[in-house]
Structures are given as C-alpha cells and as structure tokens.
Amino acid sequence: MATNKVKQIHSFGQSIWLDFIDRSIIKSGKLKKLIDEDGVRGVTSNPAIFEKAITSSSDYDADIAELAKKSSSNEELFFGLAVTDIKNATDLFKGVYDESKGEDGYVSLEVSPFLALKTKETADQAEKLWKQVDKKNVMIKIPGTKPGLAAIRQSIGKGININVTLLFGLPRYEEVAEAYISGLEDHLAAGHSIGHISSVASFFLSRIDVLVDPMLDEKGLGDLKGEVAIASAKKAYEIYKRIFSGPRWEKLAAQGAKPQRLLWASTSSKNPAFKDTKYVEALIGPDTVDTVPLETIEAFRDHGIAENTLEQGLNKATETLNRLKSAGIDIDKITQQLENEGIDKFNKPFEKLLQAIEDQKNKA
C-alpha cells in the first residue's frame, strides 16, 4: 500500500495539526481516524472555527440551554462549550502527547479576541482557561500583538503552554521568541522546572500574499506573486535557528527547555491560480508545525509532494524581500495592517457567535 502523503511529512520532522474542531468530528471518530491514518498530531481552534461549529449544527443546543442557567454572560457560556470540546480533543491526543514526550498532541483554545490589545485581561483569561481545561496537552492561544507580548511572557512564566497567534512580520516574531525565552527564565528563577512547557509561534502565510500580490504588478514584480509569504517564513526560520542556539538558550535547554517551534498558519491557498497544496509543500522542514484545514489535508493526501523544502532557496527568499524593499513596498507596514485586520476577522465571528448563543437561549 502506498505511504500516506500527509504522514510522510512527519518523516521530515514537521508535525501536521488540524486547523478545525467541532463536536461532530470528535464524536464520529473522524478525528481519531485523522490521527491514526494521516498522522495528525494536534488541533488548533479560533473564534471563527467555533462560530462555524456552533451556528451550523444543533450539537450544542442542549448544552447552551443547560449552561444558560448558570452562566453570567454569553461569553462565559461560549467558553463553557469550548472547554468541553477542547477537553474531549485533548483526550484523543493523549497518546500522541505521551509518545512524543510532550512535543505534540496539543489542542489550542484562544482567549477572547476582544482582549487582543489588553495585556492584563489576556494574561488573566489565559490562566483561567488553562485551569478550566486542566490538561497537560492544551495550549492557550494569545495574539502576538504588542500588548500581547507581556501577556505571553507572564503566561509562560506561570508554566502555561502558549500558542502565539496572528504573527505576520519578522520583527514581531523575534519579539515573541524573546518573550518566550524570558518567560522560561522567569519560571526557572521562581524555582520551577521548565521541561513541561511547550509553545508555538503561529506565522500566518497566505494572507500576506493576498495583500501584497496586487501591488506587485504595479511595481513590475509580477514574478514574485505567491512568493512573499513563503520568503518571509523561510527568513523566520533563520531567526528561529539563531535565537534557539547559543549560550543563553543552551542554559535553558540544559534544564529541559523545549524550543518554541514555528507553526505555519493560514496555509490554504486563497488564490485559485495557485496549487491548493502550495504553502504546505514549500515549507516542510524539521522542528516546525503546519496547521492545516481539513480540505487542504485531503488535497495533500491526494496529490501533495512531501520533500524537505524549508531551507531550500534561502538566497532567493532574501532576494525577494530585498526586491520588495527596493520597489518601495513596506512589508512591516503591510504586516501591521494584517495584524489589525486579523483582530477584526476574529472579532466579527465572535460577535456573531455570541449573538447566535443569545438567539438560541431565547428559543430554549
């Protein structure tokens, strides 16, 4: 029998996580099948994913009616629903978590998107959700905004696993890695062990090209279409290798610290002219994670090519970003715009979700 193409990716040191969760995929056995047959090693969720799950099925109606009796707000009620799903998913991934000695097997739950620019409230909610799920293989997602950096450091300093989300730019990614390392140092200085703490930095890809590509033709750079996000990711991996080496890191590694792996997010092709597995194929390499929607997993299983590509064409990646700069395209400005839009893209479905919960409560 031919080797499963998705599973092949893991032989190059990259873990595939599913960018989706709902009750049906857990209860039907489909998620377990993805673990067993495709080698899926984790799950990520976000407000938009939960909004789709809760508003497009009746699976949550009974719980909404029950939780409405004791929840003080619709947001509290939502997190009650989400925590149940996350707990059930972490149980399914416990075998992966144990077998990988805590490297994989994680399920991510995001703090309220309304808190994306609030440090204290983010850190407080991260700790609250961590305690509510109460599973070693949960990660709490915190946006990598400027105010989020201190919340990331504080959370890591408390021994909480963190998935840093909404990363688009290289300077911000470097700040996130610094926050992680500082958080480990804080936890160690407080007399705790650090070997159990795990974190990923979620670098968003296709959205970069969606914004940049229309600018390229105007500047005579049409040959770079679909290449800027990949070039940025390859440069991020260079930063990762630099930061997670040398005396400061080695001191933490000697105490069992795990590097904060880069996670490629937004890896479905938004442009129909591109191959549907383009972003997955371009960035396969060691010590990384790729979180992939179900349809992209299915596409890769059918016709994806698994090869060690992440460190190929590094000079081309440098040249791509240099050509952008020379043409007057400010990538840092673009990535800040994407961060701002990303917050909005999670706020809107979250508002819709809370309204759907309100409507369902009124029906009950």
Tens of pLDDT, residues 287-340: 999 999 999 999 999 999 999 999 999 999 999 999 999 999 999 999 999 999
Q: Is the pLDDT of residue 1 over 70?
A: no
What CATH number belongs to 5-363?
Answer: 3.20.20.70
> Is 141 annotated in the active site?
yes
Write down the domain spans for the chain. Answer: 5-363
Q: For the chain, give the percent of residues with pLDDT over 90.
A: 98
Interval 255-272 mean pLDDT: 97
Tokens of 305: 């090519």
Per-residue model confidence (pLDDT) at position 3: 85
Tens of pLDDT, residues 4-33: 999 999 999 999 999 999 999 999 999 999
Tens of pLDDT, residues 73-95: 999 999 999 999 999 999 999 99
Structural contact between residues 254 and 357, judged by C-beta atoms closer than 8 angstroms: no
Interval 270-281 mean pLDDT: 96
Residue 342's alpha-carbon distances to 2, 71, 119, 155, 338, in angstroms, are: 39, 28, 18, 22, 6
CA distance 73 to 196: 34
Tens of pLDDT, residues 135-167: 999 999 999 999 999 999 999 999 999 999 999
Task: Give 363's pLDDT tier (boundaries 50, 70, 90).
Answer: confident
- Structure letter (DSSP) for residue 222: G
List 135, 141, 258, 278, catalytic entry: 141
Per-residue model confidence (pLDDT) at position 125: 98
Task: Give 364's pLDDT tier (boundaries 50, 70, 90).
Answer: low
